[in-house]
Structure 1
Amino acid sequence: MPMPPPLDLSSLSLGDIARLAEENRLPPVDRWNPDHCGDSGMRISRDGTWFHEGAPIGRQEMVRLFSTILRREPDGSHVLVTPVEKLDIAVEDAAFVAVEMKAEGAGEAMRIAFRLNTGDLVSAGPDNALRFEAGEDGPRPYLHVRGGLEALVARSVYYELAQLALDNGSQPPGIWSNGAFFAIEPAA
């Protein structure tokens, strides 16, 4: 069955996005604890490209499928897990990339949703926090996705967040989403 095209966030309300995100049922990878079976031969590059044995995975449907069985272990490593096997996967930075965002409201009433490179939708808030790290090329924003998995916020999307923070006028500069405030300055 072909994968549907990515949703156009501009045509959806944040209520629609929240409903779609809730409907996106994922496998219960947090409850699966099979024996470790080895290495998958896969990696996720910093830009979100998935590779198998050195070659990019060209079928977005396969990337989407693998992303649903991805889990972050307590030691920070990443694995692909099913009820019967667990395989290591190398992740250069974050498992996902937030490639698009939509904001509604203003100030403390603002809500922000993101579309990931896998097509997943995530609304920032208390359960899906934004955090900022200092990087050589400036602040590096991350969005918690699920179970310790994060999305690196694409630079163009970060600029949108920075503009929202400037428009907000808060000190320290930051943004609100779903009742949570996220300072845009990297944590010390």
Structure 2
Amino acid sequence: MRTGLYPGTFDPVTEGHLDIIRRATALVDKLVIGVAINRDKGPLFSLEERVAMIQAECADIAEDTGCEIIAHPFENLLIHCARDVGASVIIRGLRAVADFEYEYQMVGMNRVLDDSIETVFLMAEAEHQAVASKLVKEIARLNGDVSRFVPEQVERALKEKLAQG
């Protein structure tokens, strides 16, 4: 069984993330969505909320593709998380050339730490290449329409969270 790890903060999960998840299921039998506990980023949603969003949004994808998809919180090094979940491949999404330079450095460091784990880059579909969680949150904060960027449940959660704020 080939296990892949797709890491991110997913604050919140976007249509771009879901596009990468759907396409990654063709490469692996089990896909672990590594939900990063990144205290430096100061996420809008709690870890529990982000994990719940991933689980809800990925249920249909798992059913449609036959790929097991699980959400797995992590706070350690990415390469350690990959080892912990038995991943032989790390899936990374690319939106633009600007993403590549950072990702290229990360791959180099990860290869030094463990050269048995490969990294695969998937380009987001053209319609999702500009979508970033940070921008989605900003648009939502300013009462803009984010319905094209996130699933309906996530849009509702954004509105509720920002109304509390």
Flag the structure with more relative contact order, 1 or 2, with Cα contacts below 8 A and sequence separation at least 6: 2
Q: Which structure shows the higher strand fraction? A: 1
TM-score where L is the length of structure 1: 0.22
- The structure that has the greater radius of gyration is 1
Q: Which structure shows the higher helix fraction? A: 2
TM-score where L is the length of structure 2: 0.24
